[in-house]
Chains A and B, each alone.
Chain A
């Protein structure tokens, strides 16, 4: 028995080395750095909780929190509604489903990339596609990407546009909804809307929940689009200063690795809390057919 366990660890070793060396080790170091004034170029000095205390009075930190919370709160629900809506549409037994599925999935593969962020800048920038298009109907808008009132909106649109991944998961879930239950509802006189809200939606709540948790975590960590579209500044006027972008500016732009590390830990804790809250609230609206709980 004992020997067998030893063998198991031997087989796990490659993975364990990776975990300790590339994940746990650096995490412990970064926790240590968060209590120091580490500048990347010099040895760190212990400063206690200074980095954490500084967040309370750092106005740009507060701006970045505000921007990130708005981004999460607006983009995640929109993305979920869009992906579920399309999944419902594609679930109508249309011809060539595989083709549509692939087409709608493509943005999810590309959406987080630098290339798309650059393209987005072109589309919403001055003289961009949107600007030119609206000009045709006689509307002149200021450059959407370079006005503080609308810049974040373009980033939300970019995220919603990547609805493909949650859509595929929804599609798989819709396939699992038993046809006999839907049929029974139809015979009882329920229309399509009623059938969706009374039968389909309750049956797929575990999947809605799964997508929600995943998307919230992803949205908190968004970095690339804001970095590329604002040229790393978080501008105009800090309107796209994502939390991760500000963290990066502090750590690499002004050599405040200690502060950056502290910000990273706060983000980790906040994401953890949001996920926990999701699980707690989930108890009241997620339904498992086998009577299981979140």
Chain B
């Protein structure tokens, strides 16, 4: 990736560091605090506001007027990089929530997944599927603890999860309804029991990868992670269920990953040039592929869409969904990372029979409010 950049800009010396994903955030935080962090780094939506609001990122508004050509980005993705009106990051990916289905299992059951269906249809579908498939096979993985897929459900009930100031807009009723739905699916053996879900958590251990569940959900580019794990069938991508059949306004397309420049960089121009290279150069597009999401520019998508298979499926989905999706939510607020884990824990407490959906919703809301208020 950097080689291509250096080849095009021989005057700028670059060096890269890599780190296991699990250690990335610890390392970035400590290095940033110590002032020895990288000039350009990948930032996730989860921590974007955290870093931006604490003055760790360089405001790229001026660079975008000169060095970085951000006009090529999809509008929603470009705007995702704005924090308080300042451009703090350049979106690297267009992502959208998506439902994945295991082609082999569907075929064996003679089932198909509709594009347009309600959450009630979805519950019937997964329950019937599990009944026909027999013991230890489920219609879907447990998405009850997935705050990001819950977003699609919640947006159709209460609009966004957060207001522009980062205050929580969720109420008890919508969170409780979600937990109760998944509690019902687990009890009805349509979704795996909690200990199976607790033992999963990676792409490899996801029950769909193991041929035990027909459906799962995630960010659309993850289809390229699931597909290699599933030998007996194509992984298909389709929209998540809806509140009103065919109304896809719960879905959204936005940036998940950003290229950011350190506020203390000594080489702002070179850093900006590198960011421009990463989003606009075809060599970089080829290197990065769908690793961080579907590319946020039309030309990069055109370049990759001929790859076929899961890559094409992901790109097609984003292009198909974009016109029908709702307005993308703003940047995730400070404390979002904690909301993610609190949401999963609360769902787990229902799954293990330690709390009712109502109690779990209450626990989540109070933990989330505390995390967001800090």
Measuring CB to CB, which residues of chain A are less than 8 angstroms from any residue of chain B?
Answer: 39-42, 125-126, 142-143, 145-148, 231-233, 235-238, 252-256
**B352:A237 contact, CB within 8 angstroms:** yes
What residues of B have a CB within 8 angstroms of the CB of A41 in the complex?
A: 29, 32-33, 50-51, 54-56
B109 within 8 A of A: no
Q: A237-B354, A238-B345, A252-B26 are in contact. Are A42 and B338 (CB under 8 A)?
A: no
**B196:A231 contact, CB within 8 angstroms:** no
Digitize B193-218: 1 where CB-to-A-CB distance is under 8 Å, 0 elsewhere.
11111110100000000000000000
Considering the chains assembled together, what is the distance between the CA atoms of A142 and B337 in angstroms? 30
> Can you pick out 26 interface pairs between chain A and chain B where the beta carbons lie within 8 Å of each other?
A40-B32, A40-B33, A41-B51, A126-B196, A142-B195, A143-B195, A143-B196, A145-B199, A146-B194, A146-B197, A146-B198, A146-B199, A147-B198, A148-B354, A231-B201, A233-B345, A235-B198, A236-B195, A236-B198, A236-B352, A237-B348, A238-B345, A252-B29, A253-B25, A254-B335, A254-B374
What residues of B have a CB within 8 angstroms of the CB of A126 in the complex?
A: 195-196, 199
A40 interface neighbour in B30, B194, B348, Cβ under 8 Å: B30
B282 within 8 A of A: no
Measuring CB to CB, which residues of chain B are less than 8 angstroms from any residue of chain A?
Answer: 22, 25-26, 29-30, 32-33, 50-51, 54-56, 193-199, 201, 335, 337-338, 341, 344-345, 348-349, 352, 354, 371, 374
Q: A41-B29, A253-B338 are in contact. Are A236 and B56 (CB under 8 A)?
A: no
- Central interface residue in A42, A125, A236, by most chain B CB within 10 Å: A236
Considering the chains assembled together, what is the distance between the CA atoms of A105 and B22 in angstroms? 31
**B22:A143 contact, CB within 8 angstroms:** no
What residues of A have a CB within 8 angstroms of the CB of B33 in the complex?
A: 40-41
Q: A147-B198, A236-B198, A252-B25 are in contact. List 10 more A-B contacts (CB 8 A).
A: A40-B29, A40-B30, A41-B50, A142-B193, A143-B195, A143-B198, A146-B194, A147-B195, A236-B195, A255-B54
What residues of B have a CB within 8 angstroms of the CB of A238 in the complex?
A: 345
What residues of A have a CB within 8 angstroms of the CB of B345 in the complex?
A: 233, 235, 237-238
Considering the chains assembled together, what is the distance between the CA atoms of A148 and B374 in angstroms? 29
**A-side interface mostly:** loop
Considering the chains assembled together, what is the distance between the CA atoms of A146 and B352 in angstroms? 10
B54 interface neighbour in A42, A236, A237, A253, Cβ under 8 Å: A42
Considering the chains assembled together, what is the distance between the CA atoms of A148 and B50 in angstroms? 32
What residues of B have a CB within 8 angstroms of the CB of A148 in the complex?
A: 352, 354
Considering the chains assembled together, what is the distance between the CA atoms of A86 and B193 in angstroms? 40
What residues of B have a CB within 8 angstroms of the CB of A235 in the complex?
A: 198, 345, 348
What residues of A have a CB within 8 angstroms of the CB of B374 in the complex?
A: 254, 256
Q: Which residue of B lies closest to A254 (CB)?
A: B338
What residues of A have a CB within 8 angstroms of the CB of B335 in the complex?
A: 254
Q: Which residue of A lies closest to B370 (CB)?
A: A58
Q: A40-B33, A41-B32, A146-B198 are in contact. Are A255 and B22 (CB under 8 A)?
A: no
**B22:A232 contact, CB within 8 angstroms:** yes
What residues of B have a CB within 8 angstroms of the CB of A233 in the complex?
A: 341, 344-345
**A146:B196 contact, CB within 8 angstroms:** yes
**A125:B199 contact, CB within 8 angstroms:** yes
**B-side interface mostly:** helix
Q: A41-B33, A146-B195 are in contact. Are A254 and B26 (CB under 8 A)?
A: no
Give chain B nearest CB distance to A213 CB in angstroms: 32
Considering the chains assembled together, what is the distance between the CA atoms of A99 and B25 in angstroms? 44
Q: Which residue of A lies closest to B342 (CB)?
A: A60
Give chain A nearest CB distance to B4 CB in angstroms: 31
Considering the chains assembled together, what is the distance between the CA atoms of A156 and B255 in angstroms? 43
- Central interface residue in A40, A42, A253, A255, by most chain B CB within 10 Å: A255
What residues of B have a CB within 8 angstroms of the CB of A125 in the complex?
A: 199
Q: Which residue of B lies closest to A259 (CB)?
A: B374
Give chain B nearest CB distance to A21 CB in angstroms: 15
What residues of A have a CB within 8 angstroms of the CB of B354 in the complex?
A: 148, 237
Give chain B nearest CB distance to A291 CB in angstroms: 52
What residues of A have a CB within 8 angstroms of the CB of B197 in the complex?
A: 146
Considering the chains assembled together, what is the distance between the CA atoms of A125 and B204 in angstroms? 14
**A237:B195 contact, CB within 8 angstroms:** no
Give chain A nearest CB distance to B259 CB in angstroms: 18
Q: Which residue of B lies closest to A238 (CB)?
A: B345
What residues of B have a CB within 8 angstroms of the CB of A254 in the complex?
A: 335, 337-338, 371, 374
Considering the chains assembled together, what is the distance between the CA atoms of A148 and B353 in angstroms? 10
Considering the chains assembled together, what is the distance between the CA atoms of A21 and B71 in angstroms? 50
Considering the chains assembled together, what is the distance between the CA atoms of A66 and B10 in angstroms? 59
Considering the chains assembled together, what is the distance between the CA atoms of A231 and B344 in angstroms? 14
Considering the chains assembled together, what is the distance between the CA atoms of A255 and B345 in angstroms? 20
What residues of B have a CB within 8 angstroms of the CB of A231 in the complex?
A: 201
What residues of A have a CB within 8 angstroms of the CB of B26 in the complex?
A: 252
What residues of A have a CB within 8 angstroms of the CB of B194 in the complex?
A: 146, 236
Q: Which residue of B lies closest to A257 (CB)?
A: B33
What residues of A have a CB within 8 angstroms of the CB of B196 in the complex?
A: 126, 143, 146
Considering the chains assembled together, what is the distance between the CA atoms of A253 and B198 in angstroms? 20
**A39:B198 contact, CB within 8 angstroms:** no
**B348:A42 contact, CB within 8 angstroms:** no
Give chain B nearest CB distance to A269 CB in angstroms: 25
Q: Which residue of A lies closest to B22 (CB)?
A: A232
What residues of B have a CB within 8 angstroms of the CB of A253 in the complex?
A: 25, 337-338, 341
Give chain A nearest CB distance to B137 CB in angstroms: 15
Give chain A nearest CB distance to B101 CB in angstroms: 23
Considering the chains assembled together, what is the distance between the CA atoms of A231 and B194 in angstroms? 16
Give chain B nearest CB distance to A87 CB in angstroms: 37
